[in-house]
Amino acid sequence: MILNKDTAKKTAELLLQINAIKLEPENPFTWASGWKSPIYCDNRIILSYPTIRNYVREEMGKQVEALYGKPDVIAGVATGAIGIGMLVAEYLGLPFIYVRPEAKAHGRQNKIEGKLEENQSVVVIEDLISTGKSSLNAVDALESHGANIKGMLAIFTYGFDIATTNFEQKNIDLHTLSDYSHLTERAAESGYIKEEQLNTLMDWRTNPSEWKP
């Protein structure tokens, strides 16, 4: 999943530096899946920091090219990966589209926004993988439109078994810049996460779908 350990460490450090990692065990976050969680990784904040978004742009751009060459199109999963996906497309000089969670109820009623032709090769950019459901929903839409999905690159994954299984079942290749183990290692080393919080996270990580504060 991780292509480069240095990038995984550096990305984790940058996420901590911009306070993209939020810990609220007493007032848990509700995730897209409905799971309650003491942690939230808000990659959207990356866009507010030009130097850091340039780092992510370049690392993702280079990794896409190393893994898949230049696809016909880069697709971002809305909304979290519209900005990030656009940066990657720009870095590679490629067309960009994005995929909504659901088709619009008005206008052209599109689920896929932008120009996508049948049999075009597509690399999907996602900001974060928890269960993988949102990302694979986008893949389904693209495949229904006749796209040939080369693979997916995300900034961060929690590395849950359920995501691995979901991606394997759909036969989609997934790589990420960083992951939960690199993040918690750097966070513990730097003191961003205190020992008590680390214990909560370890407890949560054993059974995240059932965790309660």
Ligand X SMILES: O=C(O)c1cc(=O)[nH]c(=O)[nH]1
Q: Annotated binding site for 5-phospho-alpha-D-ribose 1-diphosphate: which residue ranges?
A: 100, 104, 106, 126-134
Tracing tokens 């504060």 back to the chain, one arrives at: 213
112 binds, among ligand PRP, ligand X, none (CB under 5 to 8 A by kind): none
Return residues touching ligand PRP (CB under 6 A): 32-33, 77, 79-80, 126-135
Kindly tell me which of 31 and 68 has the beta carbon lying closer to ligand PRP. 31
77 binds, among ligand X, ligand PRP, none (CB under 5 to 8 A by kind): ligand PRP
Q: How far is the CB of 26 from ligand PRP (least distance, A)?
A: 21
Please enumerate, by residue number, every residue annotated as part of a binding site for orotate.
Answer: 130
- Tokens for 129? 């993988």
40 binds, among ligand X, ligand PRP, none (CB under 5 to 8 A by kind): ligand X
Q: DSSP string covering 162-206, please? A: HHHHHHHHHT--EEEEEEHHHHHHHHHHHTSS-HHHHHHHHHHHH
41 binds, among ligand X, ligand PRP, none (CB under 5 to 8 A by kind): ligand X
Amino acid residing at 58: E
Q: What is the CA radius of gyration of the chain?
A: 17
From CA 72, how far away is CA 89, in angstroms rounded? Answer: 10
Q: How far is the CB of 78 from ligand PRP (least distance, A)?
A: 6
Do residues 103 and 61 lie in contact, with contact meaning Cβ atoms separated by under 8 Å?
no
* DSSP code of residue 47: G
Kindly tell me which of 86 and 147 has the beta carbon lying closer to ligand X. 86
